[in-house]
Amino acid sequence: MSNEPSADRSIILVVEDEPLLRMFASDMVEDAGYSVVEAANATEAVSILEKRTDIRIVFTDIDMPHGIDG
């Protein structure tokens, strides 16, 4: 896998309720050359996705609180 930044700097939404894991995942995605938008829960993620059309990938936890999960 190359660490070269992608030409278009695609945006990835990282959704994780644990702050340290969210920070770690976001750092990994940025190190891979992508831009990151973070959400702390599914409700926040849905709100972000409704407002932004430039997000290409959602990287999410599969076990989220409050009934909505990955």
In this prediction, residues 4-20 reach a mean pLDDT of 83
Compute and round to an integer the Cα radius of gyration of the chain. 12
**Spatial contact of 34 and 6, defined as CB atoms under 8 Å apart:** yes
Delineate the domains of the chain, giving CATH numbers in brackets. 11-60 (3.40.50.2300)
Q: What is the reported pTM?
A: 0.81
Tell me the per-residue pLDDT of 20-36, one tens digit each, with 9 for 90 and over.
999 999 999 999 999 99
In this prediction, residues 37-56 reach a mean pLDDT of 95
Q: What is the pLDDT of residue 2?
A: 44
Chain centre to alpha carbon of residue 42: 11
Q: Among 1-5, 26-30, 61-65, which is the least confidently predicted range?
A: 1-5
Token reading at 55: 């997000």
The gap between the terminal CA atoms of the chain, to the nearest Å, is: 25
CA atoms within 13 A on the CB side of 48: 20
